[in-house]
Every structure is written in C-alpha cells, then in structure tokens.
Amino acid sequence: MASNLPNHINTFQESQQNRGRLLISCPDQPGIVSAVSTFLAENNANIIESNQYSTDPSEGTFFMRIEFECPELPTKEDQLKKEFQSIAETFAMEWNIRFVYDIKKTAIFVSKELHCLRELLWEWQNGDLMTDIACVISNHEHAREIVDSFGIPFYHIPASKENRAEVEARQLELLRAYEVDLIVLARYMQILTPDFVAAHPFRIINIHHSFLPAFVGANPHKRAFERGVKLIGATSHYVTNELDEGPIIEQDIMRVDHRDDVKSLKKIGRSIERTVLNRGVKWHLEDRMIVFENKTIVF
C-alpha cells in the first residue's frame, strides 16, 4: 500500500540521497578499520561519523558503525554491496549497508493509553522521527480520532486470548501490505505469539512501564509502590519470546518517595515512557544499534 510522506520527510530524503551507513560485527583483530576505511576511500566516500567498540581487544567481538557520503550513491548500491563482500569474508563479518534516503516504514500498535502514541506522532510531525508511519493498529477505538487527525490509516482489530490467531493473521497481512520495517508497541497490552515475533526478529520495540529487570509483567507501579521504591523508570526493548526479557535499548528514571501513591507513580512513569520509547525508536531508525547476545550496542 502506498503512503503520502510529509513534505519534511521528502525534503530529508532528497538531502540525504548520497548518505549511507555501514554496520559491522566480527571477531576482533588487527586491520579491520584500515580495510573498511580504504574500501570507502576507493569508492570516493567521505566518512562523516565513525564509532567502534570491542568487548575484549584480545579475543572479543568488534563492532563498528560508519556513516558516509558517497557521490551518486543510489546508482552504486549493488556495486558497494558486491565489492564489500570480500572484505566481510576476510574478517568473518556480519554486516549491513543501509541507505539513509530509504526511509523505514513503521507500524504503531496501541491499546487504551495514548501518551506514547501521541509523543511518537508529535515527533514525527515535527520532523524529529524520520520514518513513514504506515498505519496504527489497535485493539480499541480510543486512538482513532487522534490518528485520523494526522491522516494516518487506523485499523481497529479487537483482540483477546480467544481470537489471537485470527487477530495476528490480520495484523501480519497489514504489515506485509504496507511493507513495514519496524513495529512499535506504544503501550499495546497484548502478548504477541512466538510466530509473530519470529516473523520480525529485532524489529519490534516495546515500552515497559518499569525499570527492567525489576517488576516484569503487569501492574509494575502497584508492585513498585508496595515495595517502597525510591526510583521509578521505564525501559524500551526489543521483543523476544520471553516476556520483557528482550535486549534493552534505552532506560531512564525519576526519583520518588513515600508520598507518591500508585496514581502518582503512574503519572510520573508515563512521562518517562514517552521519552524512553521515542529515543529507542529514533536510534533504531538511525541504524545506531547492533544486537549482541541479549544486549544492544548503541552508537
């Protein structure tokens, strides 16, 4: 399904048409940076930003993210990928070249609470979230009015344990039709099945309303209140089959005390959730993350 991008995203695509990003992970060894830099120089590419990290310089894993400018890049996509393959084989790399003008398509899933959805829509409208929000899918009607006001397709698909297979089949159909690259669970209060998660590995971002690994699952604010916490937080993470156990992308906290009841904890938590989810989504869209084991390397 086609979508109409806002003018600021079209402008961004045009201005970034010669910019690419190279993400690498491989066994650490001498010569990696030199080989990659030489490859880019030989293709007349100028490095704009370069970040690297090694888990252990002697026998660990090496990670690298490079953003570069290359004249007439859209005509060189296949050539660059083909020529880089030999370097990748030499160093046993897992790698990906991504092109900034190729805007990712995002689907947002939401239930009744709309604060995270609103934040994402505002950031998108302001030009601070460079993505094509292809659609919003919800198991309730609460979000329809605000989504319609942004001109984004809204789909109400009632969901429960009893009709989960039917619901996910419809959701997957929509995701395929819109060619969605990223799914954001903006307080979508349904557990996804292993089949759904397997269809989108490390392309589903969730916001959990606590500072994981504490208070996994439902009602974290009530359990936090009962425990008498002094800090309350939120966590954005990739979704895996283990509930709230996926690789953590971003976290934040605010201080609370004995005067804060469950209601006030929830209110404080919502403020943190908005910013934590937005940052996590933005970093994914900017290709700033590499998943390693059950962690993320964030550049």
Contact 250, 241 (CB under 8 A): no
* DSSP one-letter string for 31-81: THHHHHHHHHHHTT-EEEEEEEEES-TTTSEEEEEEEEE-TTGGGTHHHHH
CATH number at residue 51: 3.30.70.260
State the residue range of the domain holding 133: 116-298
In a domain, residue 31? The reply is yes
Q: Is residue 237 part of a domain?
A: yes
Which is nearest to 55 in space by CA: 43, 63, 44?
63
Catalytic residue among 28, 181, 244, 260: 244
What is the reported pLDDT for 21?
98
Looking at the fold, whether 92 and 155 belong to one and the same domain comes out as no
Distances (CA, A) of 90 to 43, 62, 64, 133, 280: 19, 14, 16, 39, 33
63 and 186 belong to one structural domain: no
Among 33, 66, 99, the domain boundary falls at: 99
Q: What is the reported pLDDT for 111?
A: 96
Q: Which of 70, 99, 128 is the C-terminal boundary of a domain?
A: 99
Q: What is the pLDDT of residue 1?
A: 67
User: CATH number, domain at 251?
Assistant: 3.40.50.170
Residue 244 annotated to the active site:
yes
294 falls within a domain: yes
Tell me, yes or no, whether 3 lies in a domain: no
The whole-angstrom distance between residue 210's C-alpha and the CA centroid of its chain comes to 18
Radius of gyration of the chain (CA): 21
Same domain, 174 and 283: yes
Q: Please tell me whether residues 55 and 190 are part of one structural domain.
A: no
pTM assigned to the model: 0.92
> Do 94 and 213 belong to one domain?
no
pLDDT tens string, the chain, 299 residues long: the values are 655 677 888 899 999 999 999 999 999 999 999 999 999 999 999 999 999 999 987 789 999 999 999 999 999 999 999 999 999 999 999 999 999 999 999 999 999 999 999 999 999 999 999 999 999 999 999 999 999 999 999 999 998 888 889 999 999 999 999 999 999 999 999 989 999 999 999 999 999 887 666 666 677 777 777 888 888 889 999 999 887 789 999 999 988 888 878 888 888 889 999 999 999 999 999 999 999 999 999 99
Residue 164: DSSP 8-state? H
Residues 168 and 205 both lie in one domain: yes
Q: Which residues have CB under 8 Å from 229's CB, separation 6+?
A: 256
Instruction: Say if residue 197 is in the same domain as residue 287.
Output: yes
Domain count, the chain: 2
Among candidate residues 138, 148, 134, 137, the one with its CA nearest the CA of residue 178: 134
pLDDT at 229: 80
Residue 111 lies in a domain: no
Could you tell me if residue 1 is inside a domain? no
